[in-house]
């Protein structure tokens, strides 16, 4: 019962503080926000701020949230014959990069593979996919997250 009470307090604290710290207890995924750390009442935000990696707190595993993808760009935009798509992965991830038109129809599948963490670039020759002038959307799927950017082809 004490664990359940702690978990309820932690979950409510997270909602109020809008923190994103993941905890795993047994096989359940929970979220936590407050607790006792080195004998002091503190927040998970303070724990994460003082530890750059995962931190075990009793039965909880505190993991700082990191963005899976940063710097999702394409240049030049507008493009005429090619564009370079760039992004940075926080961790090794399954990546899908595709192009859709404004009606949502997939026109090209550019990448579907596991990629290592770090900066990634893909040079895309538009003529290889018979892309005519217009506006399109680049869809980048990394694990369970989806990112999008518009591209204008002249």
**End of a domain among 64, 99, 117?**
64
My answer on whether 80 and 45 are in the same domain is no
Those residues with Cβ within 8 angstroms of residue 13's Cβ, 6 or more apart along the chain or in another chain: 32, 33, 34, 43
Cβ 98 vs Cβ 108: under 8 Å: yes
Look up the CATH number of the domain holding residue 93.
2.60.40.1930
My answer on whether 15 and 78 are in the same domain is no
My answer on whether 82 and 53 are in the same domain is no
Q: What is this structure's pTM? A: 0.59
The pLDDT tens digits for 92-124 are 999 999 999 999 999 999 999 999 999 999 999
My answer on whether 43 and 75 are in the same domain is no
Based on the structure, what is the number of domains in the chain? 2
My answer on whether 37 and 110 are in the same domain is no
My answer on whether 48 and 79 are in the same domain is no
My answer on whether 79 and 146 are in the same domain is yes
My answer on whether 27 and 79 are in the same domain is no
My answer on whether 76 and 135 are in the same domain is yes
My answer on whether 75 and 149 are in the same domain is yes
My answer on whether 147 and 89 are in the same domain is yes
My answer on whether 57 and 74 are in the same domain is no
Distance CA 81, CA 123 (A): 11
Mean pLDDT for the stretch of residues 66-83: 91
Quote the tokens at residue 153. Answer: 């082809």
Domain limits at 137? 69-153
Q: Out of 20-34, 74-88, 95-109, 118-132, which region has the weakest mean confidence (pLDDT)?
A: 20-34
């Amino acid at each position: 019962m004490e664990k359940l009470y702690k978990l309820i307090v932690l979950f409510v604290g997270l909602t109020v503080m809008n923190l994103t710290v993941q905890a795993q207890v047994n096989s359940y995924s929970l979220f936590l926000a407050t607790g006792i750390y080195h004998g002091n009442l503190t927040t998970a935000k303070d724990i994460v701020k003082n530890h750059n990696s995962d931190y075990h707190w009793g039965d909880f595993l505190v993991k700082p949230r990191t963005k899976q993808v940063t710097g999702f760009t394409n240049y030049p935009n507008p493009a005429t014959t090619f564009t370079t798509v760039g992004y940075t992965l926080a961790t090794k991830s399954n990546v899908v990069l595709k192009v859709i038109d404004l009606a949502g129809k997939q026109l090209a599948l550019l990448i579907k593979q596991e990629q290592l963490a770090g900066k990634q670039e893909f040079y895309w020759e538009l003529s290889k996919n018979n892309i005519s002038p217009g506006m399109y959307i680049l869809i980048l799927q990394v694990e369970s997250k989806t990112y999008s950017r518009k591209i204008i082809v002249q």
